Chains A and B, each alone.
Chain A
Amino acid sequence: MKKTHLLAAAMTAATALTSPAFTQSVLRLDEVAVGELDPAKASDYADSILMFNVYDTLVLPTQGGPGSEPHLAESWEVDGATYTFNLRDDVSFQSGNPMRAADVVFSLERMQALGQGLSHLFGGVKAEAVDEHTVRFTLDEPYAPFIASLVRLPIVDQTLVEANATEDDPWGEEFLSANAAGTGAYTVSSHNPQDETVMAVSDSYFLPIDDHAPDEVRLRYSLEAATVRTLLAQGEHDIASQWLPPEVIRALAEDGAQLLTESGTGAFYIKLNTARPPLDDVNCRQALAHAFDYGTALQMVAITDDVSSGSASTGAIPVGMFGANPADEVLERDMDAAREYLADCPYAPEDWNLEISWIAEVPLEERFALLMQANFAELGISSSIETLPWALFTERVASPENTPNISQIFVNAVTGDPDTLLYGMYHSSTPGTWQSPEYLDDAEVDAALEAGRRGPGEEEREEAYSNLNDRLMELAPTIYGYDRQSVFAASNRVKVPALSDPEMAFGLDGMGFSFRLMEMVEE
């Protein structure tokens, strides 16, 4: 009798272990290293994915439309250049500390003090805690897209960070580069910025999280395209990064993978270093811009008959944003014009030896490099191709002498607003980041950018960005390759409404990767 009991107990235990309540659902995805965990330094795609899941912001972009929704904030009032936010009082950090107005102030000040990542969005902003749950922002000058920009102000846990700060490291940079101090829906279990970040769903999130959201997320860095291809085919990977070459995405789609898309708040930009000969001369740049084969570039990024990573470019600003040119005024190759511009270029084409760089983690760019080399060779311009890993590239662009003549970058509006696409690239005060290897310094461009962010109305902004677009076409600091949408091949184990249903889309790069809104399904 006793024996039977034991057996029964053992069987119950075994069933319990395999029952759904105990299965951990794991989501596996990849991005390009480095995964920067410090939210004040987050700028590229991997960083954004980490930030949006580990940290929260006062507002979120409205799904399926323009505008912002309250998130950590309950409501806000705008009075000229003063914004007053009432915070939720039921939010606590993963550490257990309650989220207070002082944390918001600290987060802003920390970002401004470090001056990295997207801190340029918050240059002239001051914050003060009015009371425990009210915070007031005062802007030096009007900044029309301020509310939208708050999606890039992650709130960190002041108490925890200060407890881990030292005299040499007053802002706790070392601590936050390896640990999480947010309110987010996911906690960090382990983090190696070159290899993998493992996250687990938080049990104390202030919003309900669907049961089907992944329990654990493994974000791996810099996997080879062939590796991702194989892992996905074997069912050992869930969402591939957008940097897979189109052929590989196509092959995966033919094997039954779903294609997730994140639509157009950005473009493929071929950036010309204007601080160094020969591209410091506008005619030389125009010659390149007219010799580039836009049509072929578009063919190269088509994935299936319905899905492509690109649509035709009409100028410096992607179609759909303030100041964009009409969708039918597409840029086209014009060799005659290119030759005319080249005739006015003071440098002899055979002496150029242009350095065309491409980012090692984005194999597609190698093809653009070869395309450019062939296009420019038709003008008699000699060039060499250089492969740069992303981490090396971001270091090299810090000085104009080390910045290659030509860099290829995919840039998106980090808040969905054109200001965050264009200001960081073209304003003379922000040279030498990965977004601005042009080193452009032009008073008219600066004025238009400032007018665009000043607003305040849509009409003024439309006009300012339209002027900016014209001026940027005249100066040609960049070859505006194509307007872009990101395409991700994914397994059918995961449902991502924010990346498949336009009604649920955020209109903000990386936000679709909010793991709490994903659903894991058994195949």
Chain B
Amino acid sequence: MIRALRIISSNPLSLTGLVLVLLILAAALFAPLIAPFPTHNGSVVDFAFANRPPSTRNWMGTDLVGRDIFSRILYAYRISLGLGVVVLIIAAPVGTVVGLMAGYLGGWIEAVLMRLVDVFLSIPPLVLAIAVLGVLEPTLANAMIAVTVMWWPWYARLVYSIARSEREEGYVLAAEVIGASTAHITIREILPNCLPAIITKMTLDMGFVIIIASSLSFLGLGVQPPTPDLGSMVAEGARYLPDSWWMTVFPGLAILLAVFGFNLFGDGLREILGVDE
């Protein structure tokens, strides 16, 4: 732990990442306490204050129906982070199980599973998500499903490559010799060796999931109004550029900071956990 802190603090970029991630997490967690206009999260219109540039009342200005953009960004972080966590918590274990089985068992299981993974990886992620959302209704839950569907193969491939090389290691062979079950070997012996890579990847992916989710709602396929979402806020504001720049710039910056933060932090984490590129 102390070593981890030392590594992080010796690298200003990683430290920046950590601080950004903590700030964003705090913003999302305490949104109802921090937000100057907590009700603007929902179905509220206040036309007396519509389309106002940043001021002391509204730090980031207001949107076209008079909602405080700063408050909505805080709530949008909740949605984005929540979506990211749910997606990764589903995608990572699914991918890990698939990767472990393919990597350790080999043979036709490997061939079938990894070709399936290849099929998923060959479709551009955004296109796949749009297809899934085209079939289902565009809601938050379905956006999560869509992103998860496109995300698990990356974990399968990562874990597969590690499991494959570990398969021939002495400790695995030793466990096989003493008659350990497949489940024991994969979960107790190989998986611990994959965890650092998985955790690093999850941190790095958090930023990418946020970007994909925002892209989907930018296209009108994600979270539906009046729920605030960074992507749809950018999309709505873009119509009023360049005059009402604050409607686009601040949500855009919010996306940038989140992605940037998770990426820098993920890089630091990689160093701490000693994961190779």
A residues apposed to B, CB below 8 Å: 224-226, 229-230, 245, 247-248, 251, 296, 299-300, 363, 366-367, 369-371, 373-374, 377, 384-385, 387
Beyond A371-B65, A387-B220, whether A248 also contacts B240 by CB under 8 A is yes
Interface centre among B43, B226, B241 (most CB of A within 10 A): B43
Instruction: Determine if A245 and B44 form an interchain contact, defined as CB atoms under 8 angstroms apart.
Output: no
Instruction: Determine if A230 and B242 form an interchain contact, defined as CB atoms under 8 angstroms apart.
Output: yes
Instruction: Determine if B241 and A229 form an interchain contact, defined as CB atoms under 8 angstroms apart.
Output: yes
Instruction: Determine if B43 and A374 form an interchain contact, defined as CB atoms under 8 angstroms apart.
Output: yes
Beyond A367-B65, A370-B225, whether A247 also contacts B244 by CB under 8 A is yes
Instruction: Determine if A225 and B45 form an interchain contact, defined as CB atoms under 8 angstroms apart.
Output: no
Nearest Cβ in chain B — how far from A257, in angstroms? Answer: 13
B236 within 8 A of A: yes
Which A residues are in CB contact (< 8 Å) with B226? 370, 373, 385
- 21 A-B residue pairings within 8 Å (CB atoms): A224-B238, A225-B239, A225-B240, A226-B240, A226-B242, A230-B241, A245-B239, A247-B51, A248-B239, A299-B47, A300-B50, A363-B236, A366-B236, A367-B45, A367-B64, A370-B65, A373-B226, A374-B45, A384-B224, A385-B224, A387-B220
Instruction: Determine if A373 and B241 form an interchain contact, defined as CB atoms under 8 angstroms apart.
Output: no
Q: Closest residue to A385 on the B side, CB-wise?
A: B225
Nearest Cβ in chain A — how far from B161, in angstroms? Answer: 43
B243 within 8 A of A: yes
Which B residues are in CB contact (< 8 Å) with A248? 239-240, 243
Find residues 226-267 in chain B having any chain A CB closer than 8 Å to their own CB.
Answer: 226, 236, 238-244
Which A residues are in CB contact (< 8 Å) with B239? 224-226, 245, 248, 363
Q: Closest residue to B241 on the A side, CB-wise?
A: A226
Nearest Cβ in chain A — how far from B243, in angstroms? Answer: 4
Nearest Cβ in chain B — how far from A245, in angstroms? Answer: 7
Which A residues are in CB contact (< 8 Å) with B45? 296, 367, 370-371, 374
Which B residues are in CB contact (< 8 Å) with A229? 241-243
The A interface is mostly helix, strand or loop, or mixed, namely helix
Nearest Cβ in chain A — how far from B252, in angstroms? Answer: 14
Which A residues are in CB contact (< 8 Å) with B43? 370, 373-374, 377
CA distance A367 to B47 in the complex (A): 10
Which A residues are in CB contact (< 8 Å) with B47? 296, 299-300, 371
CA distance A103 to B44 in the complex (A): 57
Beyond A373-B43, A374-B45, whether A245 also contacts B224 by CB under 8 A is no
The B interface is mostly helix, strand or loop, or mixed, namely loop
Which B residues are in CB contact (< 8 Å) with A373? 43, 225-226
Which B residues are in CB contact (< 8 Å) with A366? 64, 225, 236
Find residues 6-29 in chain B having any chain A CB closer than 8 Å to their own CB.
Answer: none
Interface size grouping (class) on chain B: 20 to 34
CA distance A226 to B51 in the complex (A): 15
Nearest Cβ in chain B — how far from A288, in angstroms? Answer: 15
Which A residues are in CB contact (< 8 Å) with B242? 226, 229-230
Nearest Cβ in chain A — how far from B15, in angstroms? Answer: 38
CA distance A114 to B33 in the complex (A): 62
Nearest Cβ in chain A — how far from B16, in angstroms? Answer: 33
Nearest Cβ in chain A — how far from B130, in angstroms? Answer: 15
CA distance A384 to B45 in the complex (A): 15
CA distance A363 to B43 in the complex (A): 18
Which A residues are in CB contact (< 8 Å) with B236? 363, 366
CA distance A248 to B51 in the complex (A): 11
CA distance A369 to B220 in the complex (A): 15
Q: Closest residue to B248 on the A side, CB-wise?
A: A226
Beyond A374-B45, A384-B224, whether A245 also contacts B64 by CB under 8 A is yes
Beyond A374-B44, A374-B45, 15 extra complex contacts between A and B, CB < 8 Å: A224-B238, A226-B242, A229-B242, A229-B243, A245-B239, A247-B51, A247-B240, A247-B243, A296-B47, A366-B64, A367-B65, A370-B45, A370-B226, A385-B225, A387-B220
Q: Closest residue to B46 on the A side, CB-wise?
A: A374
Which B residues are in CB contact (< 8 Å) with A230? 241-242
Which B residues are in CB contact (< 8 Å) with A363? 236, 239
Nearest Cβ in chain A — how far from B61, in angstroms? Answer: 13
CA distance A247 to B47 in the complex (A): 13
Nearest Cβ in chain A — how far from B9, in angstroms? Answer: 44
Which B residues are in CB contact (< 8 Å) with A226? 238-242
Query: 1/0 per residue B38-67: CB within 8 Å of A?
Result: 000001110100110000000000001100
Q: Closest residue to B237 on the A side, CB-wise?
A: A226
CA distance A394 to B44 in the complex (A): 30
Which B residues are in CB contact (< 8 Å) with A299? 47
CA distance A299 to B45 in the complex (A): 13
CA distance A371 to B240 in the complex (A): 19
CA distance A371 to B50 in the complex (A): 12
Which B residues are in CB contact (< 8 Å) with A247? 51, 64, 240, 243-244
Nearest Cβ in chain B — how far from A373, in angstroms? Answer: 5
Interface centre among B45, B240, B244 (most CB of A within 10 A): B45
CA distance A229 to B45 in the complex (A): 26
Q: Closest residue to B44 on the A side, CB-wise?
A: A374
Q: Closest residue to A248 on the B side, CB-wise?
A: B240
CA distance A291 to B239 in the complex (A): 29
Which B residues are in CB contact (< 8 Å) with A225? 239-240
Nearest Cβ in chain B — how far from A393, in angstroms? Answer: 14
CA distance A377 to B42 in the complex (A): 10
CA distance A229 to B242 in the complex (A): 8
Instruction: Determine if A251 and B243 form an interchain contact, defined as CB atoms under 8 angstroms apart.
Output: yes
CA distance A224 to B44 in the complex (A): 26
Nearest Cβ in chain B — how far from A357, in angstroms? Answer: 12
Nearest Cβ in chain A — how far from B67, in angstroms? Answer: 9
Which B residues are in CB contact (< 8 Å) with A374? 43-45
Nearest Cβ in chain A — how far from B71, in angstroms? Answer: 16
CA distance A300 to B46 in the complex (A): 11
Which B residues are in CB contact (< 8 Å) with A370? 43, 45, 65, 225-226
Q: Closest residue to B45 on the A side, CB-wise?
A: A374
Closest 10 CB pairs of A and B: A251-B243, A225-B239, A374-B45, A226-B241, A385-B225, A377-B43, A373-B43, A370-B65, A374-B43, A363-B239
